[in-house]
Amino acid sequence: MSANDVVQNYIGGEWRTSSADEQLEVTNPATAEVLALVPLSPPAEVDQAAQAAAAAFPRWRRTPAVDRVQPLFKLKDLLEHHFEDLSHTITLENGKTLDESRGEMRRAIENVEVACGIPTLMQGDFSEDIARGIDEYMIRQPVGVCATIAPFNFPAMIPFWFMPYALACGNTYIVKPSERTPLTMEKVLGLLEEAGFPKGVVNSVNGGPDTVNAILDHPLIEGITFVGSTPVARHVYSRAAANGKRVQAQGGAKNPTIVLPDADLGTTTRIVADSVFGNAGQRCLATALTITVGEARHAFAEAMAGIAASRVVGYGLEEGVEMGPVITPQSKARIEGLIEKGAGEGATLLVDGRNTVIRGYEAGNFIRPTILDGLPAEGEIAQTEIFGPVLGMIHADTVDEAIALVNSGRYGNMACVFTTSGAAARQFRYEAEAGNIGINIGVAAPMAFFPFSGWKDSFFGTLHGQGRHAVEFFTQTKVVVERWPPTRRHPS
């Protein structure tokens, strides 16, 4: 990789240089080094990818499922073989620590493993004799050409919530990586090619909003999966649906965690701090708000402040670093502005991570962990996704009040509770309005065989990514009612 390298599109089994007029720089967020250039591919190149995928579809869908998963088994081996290199690339372009990149790669591979079970997962249902001599059954068939539009924060993992299932189910596929982190997917596409998927079965087009809109409007693309911020998720959902496509769009988050007085302080603060500050807070399952109940307040705040202040911030490739930079200088400025606003709303800056400079990495987008204590629940910042290493602390007198605060948020990606009371945990699990629930867990990230279940403004659609939901999304059901008149040779 060098500053002059232009990220290639992969279309119809060929690596193609985009004819884009405009290119953006892909930079290392810790060093500001330009790693490569990414093209903003024009609609004509989306069309080429869609045509290639459509041409490959008839043959791929007729390939038996047991054969379609063979390149996925090979892909799993290749991903394991290139595990360290891919993790290194994620850290280079995204900034997270190498261990965090490895964790991301592990979940990506897990989705390949689950999708290898498609011969079973895709099976239909059969009812014999729904009336005398009549049988009825349901089969699953692929949808056609499908596409994924991905965000910057998990350059490898998020396309894998969809791609292995789409391919295993017999669809052909286009991925549009984030223009800020396209390098990992470029390497993955090289591995998909090596794994032996036929030409046109999997394709990539790099670009930004115009490229996305061309995907949303393309008549040959039948299914769209999106992960990113809520305003764009809403746009993708409505535009793709208006064009008659099936669509699932996962959006932003502001995840609350309730801490009850009976929770073990040491374990709770360690786990919650990892949730808040992991991936520099740029995780859709980051805890962004804690709601302490009753006397949990002061000890929890004090312990969290200690952890936040001692977090080792630096270049994610360096040994011992616990938190990397945020993605861009604009993102850093936005986050610092929101911290200021939170303080302006009356919160106390218990730990202030603004104006951070890391020696040797002065050009990096670093913000140290920050805590806004006593954030007003009804204020703007308690409702705004900051997407940085910033914790807002709110306090409640009772469990009921804390759950009501959880449910007052517009998002519903994740909610967690820390307690040793089974009854309180059950009440929380039952009443909390969020699709992913953690009980004494800080990042309730579903394994690949469970759906990634966002609710409310964190999700638009019905079926989510991963597991059986992905299989349902990437297949359409066909119901057959069948009667065979008795033949003369075999009278009934």
In the complex, which residue's CB is closest to ligand NAD? 228
Establish if 26 lies at the interface with ligand NAD (CB under 6 A).
Answer: no
Judged by CB under 6 A, which stretch of 26-34, 148-156, 440-448, 470-478 contacts ligand NAD?
Answer: 148-156
- Regarding 179 and contact with ligand NAD (CB under 6 A), the answer is yes
The single residue among 60, 162, 300, 387 that binds ligand NAD, judged by CB under 6 A, is 387
Task: Report if residue 232 touches ligand NAD, rule: CB under 6 A.
Answer: yes
DSSP annotation of 447: P
Using CA atoms of 46, 153, 411, 112 in order, give the dihedral in degrees to the nearest 10: 70
What Cα–Cα distance (Å) separates residue 55 from each residue in 48, 325, 391? Answer: 11, 43, 49
DSSP state of 408: T
Under the binding rule (CB under 6 A), the answer on residue 182 touching ligand NAD is no
Nearest to 324 by CA among 100, 35, 8, 15: 100
Which residues are CB-contacts of 337 (< 8 A; sequence separation ≥ 6)?
none
- Which of left, alpha, beta for 356 (phi over 0: left; psi -120 to 50: alpha)? beta
Rounded Cα distance, 8 and 440, in Å: 44
Which residues are registered as beta bridge partners of 38? 24
Whose tokens are 């670009």? That residue is 207
Kindly write out the interface string for residues 430-459 of this chain, putting x where it contacts ligand NAD by CB under 6 A and - elsewhere. ----------------------x-x---x-
Span from 128-136, 207-215, 342-350, 430-438 in contact with ligand NAD (CB under 6 A)? 207-215
Q: Is 284 a catalytic residue?
A: yes
Task: Identify which range of 78-86, 137-145, 173-181, 303-311 contacts ligand NAD by CB under 6 A.
Answer: 173-181
* Residue choice 87, 250, 279, 287 for contact with ligand NAD (CB under 6 A): 250
- Give the integer Cα–Cα distance in Å for 312 and 318: 11
Q: How far is the CB of 410 from ligand NAD (least distance, A)?
A: 13
Catalytic residue chosen out of the listed positions 116, 146, 169, 284: 284
Is 227 among the residues that bind ligand NAD (CB under 6 A)? yes
In Å, what is the CA distance from 108 to each residue of 75, 80, 101, 119, 256? 11, 11, 11, 20, 26
Q: How far is the CB of 286 from ligand NAD (least distance, A)?
A: 8
Binding ligand NAD (rule: CB under 6 A), the pick from 35, 105, 145, 150 is 150
Between 177 and 342, name the residue whose CB sits nearer to ligand NAD: 177
Distance CA 195, CA 214 (A): 29
The window from 128-136, 250-258, 287-295, 468-476 that contacts ligand NAD (CB under 6 A) reads: 250-258
Task: Give the residue, chosen from 252, 278, 389, 438, that forms a contact with ligand NAD under the rule CB under 6 A.
Answer: 252
Toward ligand NAD, which CB reaches closer, 141 or 213? 213
Give the x-and-dash track for 402-421 against ligand NAD (CB under 6 A): -----------x--------
> Nearest approach, Cβ of 172 to ligand NAD (angstroms)?
20
Rounded to a whole number, what is the distance in angstroms from the first to the last CA of the chain?
A: 72
Q: Which residues, in sequence order, are bridge partners of residue 438? A: 416
* Beta-strand pair 287-293/255-259: parallel
Q: How many residues bind ligand NAD (CB under 6 A)?
A: 28
CA dihedral (153, 213, 411, 388) positive or negative: positive
**Chain residues that interact with ligand NAD, rule: CB under 6 A:** 149-153, 176, 178-179, 208-209, 212-213, 227-229, 232, 235, 250-253, 284, 385, 387, 413, 452, 454, 458
Residues with catalytic function: 284
